[in-house]
A and B are shown apart, each in its own frame.
Chain A
């Protein structure tokens, strides 16, 4: 059974720092991996999608990497800002019709 783990569970940093959020999954037979942002009480905003054949994806200050064989992905946030404060969720697609298995998230606080 696929399990997704995110480390750390929470992170508090000063503005301007570069950050790395970690995601690991137990079954490497995934089709894709998606990173989301969730603000308190809100929906999920898609940040990056990495297909299983890809090694990384970039969008602005965000870069996500995927090492499928070792069951790991990292989300790199450059030059963090207070507006980046949110919970970041990692989810893997286990095939079928894109059923996503989610991690518990990393709660990020960026203080001025």
Chain B
């Protein structure tokens, strides 16, 4: 069964360092997302990406964050200068459905720990 894959599963980094989280969405999907879950808190939306551009982003997704689909299969989330509060589980998701109607499929997550 097709699935969303994410790497790394766990990354530990020092505050101020750049981090890139990688995702391979399901191959025929057109809509891509990043969500995050701080330990003990709700899953929260970061950004959606369609047709090679950001379609929507949350207040969390400030200038320190960026997304890219560099090669038609990978979808990456970059955090330029990590802060302690960026420590969280980051989930990539993809959907084949049109706007607002598609079922989202999530990856296993990348746990980011900022020291």
A residues lining the B interface (CB < 8 Å): 31-32, 34, 36, 41-46, 49, 51, 89, 91, 93-105
Contact = CB atoms under 8 A, between A and B. Distances in A.
Interface of B: 4, 31, 33, 35, 41-45, 48, 50, 55-56, 58, 91, 93, 95, 97, 99-109, 111
A102 B106 CA distance: 14
B103 A100 contact: no
8 contacts: A42-B109, A43-B91, A95-B100, A97-B31, A98-B97, A98-B101, A98-B102, A100-B104
B99 A96 contact: yes
A7 to B, nearest CB: 15
A50 B61 CA distance: 28
Given A42-B109, A44-B106, A97 B55 contact: yes
A45 B105 CA distance: 7
Contacts of B102: 98
Given A91-B43, A97-B31, A103-B42, A44 B91 contact: yes
Contact of B45 (A32, A46, A51, A99): A99
Contacts of B48: 96-99
B70 to A, nearest CB: 20
Contacts of A104: 41-42
Contacts of B107: 43
